[in-house]
Structure 1
């Protein structure tokens, strides 16, 4: 009798395996893009996370290599950064989507601002949380001028160039109108590239006019939905659960491997004491930078690519939000 029961059990297990091979679960890949968008390699041991093509290429490749792949979900949490890297990462994801004939859906966490929203537009649909910050479709650059300061201390600026415009926007010299016009022309062209990218991606879903959408303003998720910048309020886990239930394999792509993965939990700001100390230092640095900006009337960033790691720290309201979020932890 026990022999027959064992036989039936083995046949049932074999049937289950065969069924699994013939009808495998669909796979959904999740790619998490978090941090400022900057050129350069991947950070070492707890360094600041950066988004660029080289640091994310393998993760994106792995996500699209999965068997029985039905969908790729992109989790974006970025205040922006380099327009070039934003464009490269966005286009790379789009090319992969077309090559593998797999849709990409984007989910915004804390923010997809500026270059972060540029990357979000790689998806066929964009979802956000109610309190996510979305938009900031604009370009910014800033610097300080110290010519009066060095003059006060009797310091002489000596700069030699071949090419009359090679030393444009020199902080050691008084600002020239010709330099201002050249810089404005560059910013205008970059801004237009951004606008064209958003319009191509979102199309008729955009509900606001250009004067509203493309001023560099950011909105919360609900308002972004009204303006057509996102398609709904949702989270990646909630979406996968409702769409596939438990009949799905979720593959979460990793940035690195080996020792990086082993030590990742210790250095992850979301889970470690070290991360909390880093967050406090970032807020202190943000306050110092804000005070300096108020004194000098300027900061140094391009497309939200600020040396401050606190999201949108140049904005006093966003800084307050960041401080409140730290208290909640």
Structure 2
């Protein structure tokens, strides 16, 4: 089916203008999931993963705009920024406006990506914001001590085992982590200021506190531009005959899906990292009262 659509699209581009469809087109892609949280049975959002789809969207023949539907609780800040940069770069290169539509949540890194859009829209019940930086983990030092387990770590470099969850917390390590978080937070705040420019309507200490709000509140604070869904807003912008072209990532071959599924299930059974990754992503969604 994808081959047929691509072929028809290429053939249409070869037709004289008087024979081409005159209905405006908007390329639509979805970004769903935690950022950088790749799992054996579920892929998270990453720059490498979404770049081919972004290229496809910005090169759609006769596209008037690109619309991105976001549903993400955040994740890795570097990956969020790389996706943000790719959107901005392609938008400038192709001279196309970008509209962002928030579904359940665009928080933390998800909101960072949203700031790449010229306009951001959300449902009144969407969760928006969380402009801050968080680091979370577990401490197992008392557990292993209670059970007579020795932790043996050998390093070259005194900070190489920093924040080891099997050792008691070190105040110097915590200070270093706080410094890293502060630098990332400053960067995040500057990016939001640049993306929203003079649209922000509340005190920055309040907006950048890491708190989050429903869509109606986010609109009052200038974090988004309006309330509504993609069908409603795009019709208002481009008329009732606008065509929303939802682009999907290429699917692997049948053999690839069969082999990949088997390999993924086997790996998930033998790798505890898969379970830990799933718990981490679930905790990200749970922060906003959501489960995925």
Deviation at 1:170? Answer: 1.7
- Structure 2 alignment gaps of length 5 or more: 1-14, 258-274
Secondary structure of 1:229 counterpart: coil
Distance 1:182 1:136 in 2: 22
Conserved 8 A contact 1:81-1:306: no
Unmatched segments (≥5 aa) in structure 1 = 1-16, 264-288, 290-299
* In structure 2, C-alpha distance between the alignment counterparts of 1:84 and 1:197, rounded to whole Å: 13
Partner of residue 35, structure 1: 33
Residues 1:307 and 2:276 aligned together: no
Aligned to 2:124, the other structure's residue is in SS state coil
Q: How many residue pairs align between the two structures?
A: 260
Q: Does 1:74 align with 2:75?
A: no
Which of these residues, 119, 125, 129, is aligned with residue 119 of structure 2? 125
Pair member with larger Rg: 1
| Structure 2 length-normalised TM | 0.81
Deviation at 1:171? 1.8
Residues 1:100 and 1:306: Cα distance change in structure 2 (over 3 Å): farther
Deviates more, 1:60-69 or 1:91-100: 60-69
| Cα gap change, 1:258 to 1:312, in 2 (>3 Å) | closer
Match of residue 249, structure 1, among 226, 243, 249: 243
1:203 maps to what in 2? 197
On the 8 A contact 1:25/1:68 being kept in 2, the answer is no
For residues 248-303 of structure 1, give each alpha carbon's deviation from its aligned partner in whole angstroms, at most 9, with x where no partner exists: 3322111223658xx9xxxxxxxxxxxxxxxxxxxxxxxxx9xxxxxxxxxx99xx
Q: 1:31 offset after TM fit, Å? A: 1.3
1:145 alignment counterpart: 139
Query: What are the superposed Cα offsets for residues 92-115 of structure 1, whole Å, 9 maximum, x if unpaired?
Result: 011000000001011111110111
Distance 1:306 1:114, change over 3 A: farther
Q: Quote the offset at 1:154 in angstroms.
A: 2.3
Using the alignment, how far apart are the partners of 1:102 and 1:74 within structure 2? 13
Q: 1:194 aligns with which of 185, 188, 200?
A: 188
Q: C-alpha distance in 2, partners of 1:192/1:82? A: 16
